[in-house]
A and B are shown apart, each in its own frame.
Chain A
Amino acid sequence: MAEIPSLEITTPRRSMGQLVIRQFLKHRMAVIGALILLVIVILVAGADLFERYDPLQINLRNRFQPPSAEHWFGTDDLGRDMWARTLHGGKVSLLVGFLSMAVAIFIGTLIGLISGFFGGWIDAVLSRITEIFQSVPRLFILIVLTTFLRQLDLPWMKPGTFWPIALVIGVLAWMSVARLVRGSTMSIKEQEFVTAARMIGANNFRILFRHILPNVASPIIVAATLGLAGAIITESGLSYLGFGIQLPTPTWGNMLSNTQNQMLTVPWTAIFPGMMIFIVVIAINYLGDGLRDALDPYHIEK
């Protein structure tokens, strides 16, 4: 008699979440990136605990001190402690980055979902709007918008208020997300489970947010990490040029803005803030790489 082959399952059962985490942990650089990012977020969020001087404390007798045990990152042109300023600047830079990324993802997802799901004239109008936003010279419009915000002189626009700038960066950065979500939505809405949901009487709203949105979540998450990196670079660039967050509130960008005249003699004022932007952005990019692999169901394990 022939032996009946055993039907024992050799691969242990794993939930979707476990699979994603396992795949992510295999990407060494992504894990390192995530850890570095975590350390920086902790340092920056607890800036008040880790700093040794007031970041706004001017001490002219102590200007342009090179890095030392006393001032880890040296001091700047007004004798302010660069370590404290770097931590505080990081808080603003990261908050602006997160906020503008959230704004861009929110607008982009909403427009992409509606555009892809309803099609027809709604899609035509929304796609044209997306195209118009893609055709403007972004950085230049941003500069005009931030100048405009400053001239408004609103009561809540105190020096150092950062959310209006985060908002305008986000409002000019949602287009690629919208295109991505629109494409995915268009293919997902044709699948059987959407028809099934409609059969049991789900309305459009429920179908969009309960059935389609979870299925486009992976590309959105990846886009969000890349968007975060982009937003941090945009903010630092704007602040560097003097159109972003205004001094004395430090951000990594504006800490670099008045270094151009001094950096030849005191290079540390130019090196540390830029180094932080670079480290954070490269960590986020690796994190995004890892997430892309981990969230891709067709990813082949190497």
Chain B
Amino acid sequence: MTSYLLRRLAQALLTLLVISMIIFGLISAVPGGIMSAYSENTDMTPEDFARLQAKFGLDQPVPVRYLKWLGNMLQGDWGNSFVSKRPALQEIADRLPNTILLMGSMLIVTLLIAIPLGVFSALKQYSLFDHILTTLALAGQSLPTFWFGLILIIIFSATLKGADGGPLLPGSGMTTPGMPFNLLDLIRHMILPVAMLALISAAGYMRYMRSSMLEVLPKDYVRTARGKGLSERTVLFRHALRNALIPIVTLLGLELPYLFGGALFTETIFAWPGIGRLFFDAAMKTDYPVLMAVLMIFSALIIFSNLLVDVVYTIIDPRITLS
């Protein structure tokens, strides 16, 4: 187990290293690169330009710059944002909790919707309920998330009015400006962005849960459990559901890149001060240090969560052995 873990860890680190090279290569290949901001400044003589290039170390070959960048990054120096002049890592650290709050709530809501509906749909296979749910699920999977978000805003914060005459639900930000922090206000701001992503990803998870449950139900161990005279409840929840949930764990790991993509849309549409929004703003202003920092953090999160999923998998499914 330890040697397997160490090997997987080494593999993950190597993958991350290759990705860091790709990201650095990509950013340094941008024409004009980080100097493009100065290229249109007519006050600058070619000498000024060269002096600045030397100051930033841009006169050196790319591999040397890469090693320097990597060395600095390992020591916690991820460069400063061109826009705010603050350390890129600090910018991310400030917004990470907001993204985790939003994405975590969304994931919980997704699973709370998808698992019961998927199980129910499988138990009542080919019933009217099952047909309606599977149709809705396919429709949900076909909805472009950002458009669904726009529609939610049109309905819930533009058309429908609350008791106070204001919009029923706020359509942007995390808190009401000028109001002291209170939990209810935060939750009200979270409803639409969470609904936008959770309803759509619940559609996918529900379909998956349904087919996973349908696969497990005819298995011998389910029949054995029934044969032992266990109650139907115990058979379904202790024996069938537990096994049907295993593939969902893999899906959670594989879906992480899409989750981050979802964060980009939600946070942009609902002006949620998270990492997705940070990346969007940085891309608009070609703020390279922030772009690179976000790319590195997200890649690392994806790689290590996949590793985590593999390990968790072996714990919850004893049939799988590590090799």
Contacts and interface: CB of A to CB of B under 8 A. Distances in A.
B36 A256 contact: no
B283 A285 contact: no
Interface string A128-169: 100110111111110111011001110000000000000000
19 contacts: A128-B15, A132-B18, A135-B306, A136-B257, A136-B299, A137-B260, A138-B257, A140-B260, A140-B261, A151-B32, A233-B144, A236-B144, A256-B150, A263-B150, A270-B151, A274-B150, A278-B144, A281-B143, A282-B142
Interface stretch (B48-56, B177-185, B264-272): B264-272
Given A241-B280, A277-B144, A138 B19 contact: no
B302 A148 contact: no
Interface in B175-203: none
Interface string B91-124: 0000000000000000000000000000000000
The 9 A-B pairs of least Cβ separation, nearest first, read: A274-B147, A139-B261, A282-B142, A137-B298, A281-B142, A264-B158, A137-B260, A135-B303, A135-B302
A237 B138 contact: no
Nearest to B141: A285
Interface in A267-302: 267, 270-271, 274, 277-278, 281-282, 284-286, 289
Interface in B120-166: 138-139, 141-147, 150-151, 153-154, 158
A151 B31 contact: yes
A207 B36 CA distance: 51
Interface in A89-144: 128, 131-132, 134-141, 143-144
B255 to A, nearest CB: 12
B56 to A, nearest CB: 18
Interface stretch (B22-30, B67-75, B208-216): B22-30
B279 interface: yes
A131 B31 contact: no
B19 to A, nearest CB: 6
A134 B309 CA distance: 15
A259 interface: yes
A243 interface: yes
Interface of A: 128, 131-132, 134-141, 143-145, 147-148, 151-153, 229, 233, 236-237, 240-243, 256, 259-260, 263-264, 267, 270-271, 274, 277-278, 281-282, 284-286, 289
Nearest to B298: A137
B36 A151 contact: yes
Task: Name the residue among A128, A256, A264 with the largest chain B CB count within 10 angstroms.
Answer: A264
Contact of B139 (A132, A237, A282, A289): A282
Given A137-B302, A140-B260, A278-B143, 7 more contacts: A135-B299, A144-B27, A233-B144, A263-B154, A264-B153, A281-B144, A282-B142
B258 to A, nearest CB: 8
A58 B54 CA distance: 48
B269 A260 contact: yes
B150 A259 contact: yes
Contacts of B158: 263-264
B62 interface: no
A244 B311 CA distance: 38
Contacts of A242: 284
